[in-house]
Amino acid sequence: QKREISNFDYLMYLNTLAGRSYNDYMQYPVFPWVLADYHSETLNFTNPHTFRDLSKPMGAQTVERKHKFIQRFNEVEKSEGDLSAQCHYCTHYSSAIIVASYLVRMEPFTQTFCSLQGGSFDVADRMFHSVKSTWESASRDNMSDVRELIPEFFYLPEFLTNANHFELGCMQDGTVLGDVQLPPWADGDPHKFILLHRQALESDYVSAHLHCWIDLIFGHKQHGSAAVEAVNTYHPYFYGDKMDLNNIKDPLIKSTILGFISNFGQIPKQV
């Protein structure tokens, strides 16, 4: 509010407080999608429609999608220790595979991604190849995709280029995967993309609404009735600090929970 710290620094500070770290792919710093415009030639920071709705999680960015997740929540009976527990989302907005998929064009993340995938790259159509299509998947099209971003989207142009010339495969439409496809307003320049994306993060609109997103990820809308109301509940296994693993006697259930967390991610500690 006093303009003494940037939004970027503030988000990094909150991530650190919540136990997120660059040293842990499973608890990597999480940053929000801030833009919704990946088709215009130029960005208009005075138009609210340029921006993502920061008051809603990725699963509720469109009305239709929001209702589908509410329907899922209502259909599932509450059940302890069951994979079909009552929640809106059975996937997560930040996980080791999401982090590695974003940074797959850079080592050591390339090797990390391949090891998580069983030794090779994923099917080309599922690889991170376009900022626009990733936004459309996470905000609208894919019910199992609610991913947010990582800090690198706001300062590291190198992760958007295939400088190491990895053979990432060929998509079904014949497109050979190389550099990440950027929105028109970036003019094909990763540096310009990072510059404008960082400007968007520090814009007046985001500064005025960022606290809403922080409530969802780090604050009071993270769990409980406020989370239900905000369409922001995740599978119980994702709430690592709420699961007392020491009291779980069944080794199979315990290993299932740990495997779930390592594969799909975990909610940050509430700040």
130-161 pLDDT, tens per residue?
999 999 999 999 999 999 999 999 999 999 99
At 182-228, the pLDDT tens digits run 999 999 999 999 999 999 999 999 999 999 999 999 999 999 999 99
pLDDT confidence bin for 75, thresholds 50/70/90? confident
pLDDT confidence bin for 82, thresholds 50/70/90? low
Domains of the chain: residue spans and CATH: 7-264 (1.10.1540.10)
pLDDT confidence bin for 254, thresholds 50/70/90? confident
Q: Taking the model in full, what pTM does it have?
A: 0.92
Query: Cα separation of 60 and 231, whole Å?
Result: 7
**Could you tell me what percentage of the chain is helix, strand and coil, using 3-state DSSP and rounding each to the nearest 5?**
45, 5, 50
Structure confidence at residue 78 (pLDDT)? 55
Highest mean pLDDT among 61-75, 233-247, 256-270: 61-75
170: phi then psi, degrees, rounded to nearest 5:
-130, 130
pLDDT confidence bin for 2, thresholds 50/70/90? confident
Residue 79 has pLDDT above 60, yes or no: no
Residue 12 has pLDDT above 90, yes or no: yes
* Closest residue by Cα to residue 82 from 259, 253, 223: 253
CA 15 to chain centre: 14
Structure confidence at residue 151 (pLDDT)? 98
Query: Cα separation of 77 and 41, whole Å?
Result: 47
3-state SS class at 31: strand
31: phi then psi, degrees, rounded to nearest 5:
-125, 155
Query: Cα separation of 159 and 190, whole Å?
Result: 9
